[in-house]
Amino acid sequence: MPKQRITILPLRLANQIAAGEVVERPASVIKELLENSIDAEANRIDIHLEKGGMQLIRVRDNGHGIHKDDLALALSRHATSKINTLEDLEAIITLGFRGEALASISSVSRLILKSANNHQALGWALDTEGVETNTKLAPTAHPQGTTIEVRNLFFNVPARRKFLRREQTEFNHIDDIIKSIALSHFPITFLVHHNQQLIRNYRSAATEIEQEKRIADICGAPFIENSLRIEAEGPGMQLWGWIAKPTFSRSQSDLQYCFVNGRIVKDKLISHAIRQAYQDVMYHDRQAAYVLYFEIDPTIVDVNVHPTKREVRFRDSRMVHDFLFHQLHQVIKDLRPGKQYQANTFQSAPNTHSVQEQMGVYSQLHNPSFLSQNKPSIEIFEPPVQELLPSKTPTQTEIPPLGYAVAQLHGIYVLAQNQHGLILVDMHAAHERITYEALKKELATQNIQRQHLLVPIDIALNEKETDTAIQHNEFLEQLGIQIDRAGPEAIVVRQVPALLKDTSIEQLVRDVIADLIEYGMSQRIQENLHEILASMACHSSIRAHHELTLTEMNALLRKMENTECIGQCNHGRPTWVQLSLHQLDKLFMRGQ
């Protein structure tokens, strides 16, 4: 085939090629149109769909609207009102900015654009049909704002249309987009109609209670019932939102929403920081659930690194990673008995009067003569007697969060009673976490014991990996690993933490370097150290069928109340559960 001369692509073909990046399916159209409405500062958006958006997508907003003289230009490629200079591009604060969405959509559909702004007495409309815009404007009755109607998507690109799925599948993709945008813009009312039926009605949410109501509508009430509110600030950064307790884990990542400056993202660095925060309390391959909002100075984040704008790049990735990890981890590790109910909006109030009466009977078990006859047999549990005794009469006593032990079940579980109802504790899992946290504190307060290798380990790397290792030499040294450069593409390991001397040092170092390249930091050495401590804690904790006295059981409960991450053992299994009086009443149909 002879080579052809270079020519400029016809406008229609160029737009259709661009549409291949911007418009994958009806959900892609919805995303672009909603982002335009939000950038226009609309506070109400109505969405009408037919046949999963394949036949009709109509988005109407009450935003600023488009001036009559700009309507035709709005359908041109790289036409936008959102950026004008390089400085604007380096500090993007709008969701859209490339100015190619409407041109791409109009090239593969029959599109009608109507709009009016506050400088016009009436609205104006124009329409296209997969070709260049018909610039002849027609007056139309239209309130302030914009309506965009997209019909017969891909009618002129049959090869693309055949890849669309069933109507319900396409609607589900649209629904996911609308949900994510509704989560990120609480002040806006979203009304969604599908085949002439109202499907979604997300009213404007100003207060925290209204926001939680919207989140419950989208993510389900159980998410809010099992979530914790987080608010934190750092240098040029702010993090807020809701994260689920570790016990509310998922098999899939279907309840993970993260927004950066109002834009939903699936960012590897952010996801890694969140996984790290949950790493010590999450069971096996379970997934965390969260709705998080990360605000950052727009000049230090690049949102123009991916055609769909779902990824971002931070100027200082390590700073961002450390901030997210530490703030989230702090909330998770502070989750202790007594704080469980504060985050639970839907928890019913306990019947305190009846509990106090029951505690009065129970308190007879806690007297000096009884305690003297039941001395603890496990040293770690031995508390001062006064820690176990109420300091006032039973009706005036402030009952501890985990209450007081009543009995041991089958040598495995501790049964206790608190002001909310009944507590069940897996004694091995709870003691395992207590021991593990104590070992971690001991490790943190002492210098890491180092082991010099009699035979240093040579590791062959590529040049980038070698340079990264040397650049982070001080960081590795703090964690007990000493390295030297052994050439342009090699390092030598001379010293490792003593606890890790029997592990695969070469693989560990390679993984750490890979993390440093990808995220600017690594937790792998700490994770490996913690794995060993976890194993030590597991083997040194009380086992099932070990008989405990009532004194020992109560000492265990008090230890739990003052231990970080006590809700889960080292393997992510729950250590205790609460059954409220309301739940117990329902089980026995009391009051029905």
pTM of the model: 0.75
- pLDDT band of residue 581 (cuts 50, 70, 90) is very high
pLDDT tens for 424-477 read 999 999 999 998 888 888 887 777 788 999 999 999 999 999 999 999 998 888
Amino acid at 33: L
Quick check: helix, strand or coil at residue 256? Answer: strand
DSSP code per residue over 358-415: HHHHHGGG-SHHHHHHS--SSGGG---HHHHS-SS-GGG----TT-EEEEEETTTEEE
d(CA 313, CA 320): 11
- Helices in 352-504 by DSSP H: which ranges? 352-362, 368-373, 385-388, 427-445, 463-471, 473-478
Q: Tell which residue, 345, 342, 339, has the closest CA to residue 216.
A: 345
Question: What pLDDT digit, counting tens, does each position of 278-329 carry?
Answer: 988 887 788 999 999 999 988 888 776 665 667 788 888 889 999 999 999 9
Fold of 348-592: Ribosomal Protein S8; Chain: A, domain 1 (3.30.1370)
Strand partners, 421: 418, 580
Residue type, 137: L
The tokens describing 413, both together, are 């579980």
CA atoms of 179 and 177, how far apart (whole Å)? 5
How far apart are alpha carbons 264 and 309 in whole angstroms?
9
Q: Average pLDDT, stretch 326-346?
A: 69
Per the CB < 8 A criterion, the answer to whether 258 and 296 are in contact is no
> Domain ranges in the chain?
11-202, 208-333, 348-592
- The confidence score (pLDDT) of residue 106 equals 85
Q: What integer is the mean pLDDT of 379-394?
A: 43
Please report the beta strands in 297-381, taking only residues with DSSP state E, as ranges in sequence order: 301-302, 313-314
Q: Domain 208-333 belongs to what topology?
A: Ribosomal Protein S5; domain 2 (3.30.230)
CATH number of 11-202: 3.30.565.10
232-241, 300-309, 408-417, 437-446: which has the minimum mean pLDDT? 300-309
Cβ within 8 Å of residue 182, ≥6 positions away: 188, 190, 200, 202, 214, 218
258 by DSSP, 3-state: which?
strand
DSSP lists the bridge partners of residue 238 as 233, 295
The amino acid sitting at 275 is R
Give the SS3 label for residue 287. Answer: strand
Residue 217 parent element (H or E) = helix 208-219
Question: Is 294 in contact with 324 (CB distance < 8 Å)?
Answer: yes
